[in-house]
A = this chain, B = another copy of it.
Amino acid sequence: MITLNDKTYTCPVDVTLGFIGGKWKLLILSHLHWQEQSSYTKLRENLPGVSEKMLSQQLKELERDLLVTKNITSRKPYRVHYTLSEEGKSLAPLYEFMSGWGVGYLKKHGVDYIQDQHLYK
């Protein structure tokens, strides 16, 4: 058993899962991986189905866990963009692998997936 921030984990895989678990986190992270940066609105538009509540909640957790950095680019008209931190970038093989595996699965099963593909590599 591993204890970290008052939670217990069964193994290192579980620890990693603690950071990227949840329905939207990997989607947000991998989006930022391929887009380099994104505003709140762009993220929302490019993650079909995410509610604003979920988006801001998960962004806040990703920020807290230091995987994502929030850059305030302007205060007068309040503007922001999100990027992967170094920690977040260190998960890049994950984004790449999971995308590749998903694409492989779809190909093998003859499923169309080209729509909006540029957004996800």
Residues of A that sit less than 8 Å from B by CB:
1-4, 9-17, 19, 21, 23, 26-27, 30, 47-49, 90-91, 93-95, 97-103, 105-106, 109, 111-113, 115-116, 119-121
Does B11 contact A102, Cβ atoms closer than 8 Å?
yes
Bound complex: CA A27 to CA B15 (Å): 11
Among B97, B98, B103, B119, contact of A17 (Cβ-Cβ < 8 Å): B98
Given contacts A10-B48, A49-B10, contact A101 B111 (CB under 8 A): no
How many chain copies? 2
Min C-beta distance of A62 to chain B, whole Å: 15
Does B1 contact A13, Cβ atoms closer than 8 Å?
no
Does B93 contact A12, Cβ atoms closer than 8 Å?
no
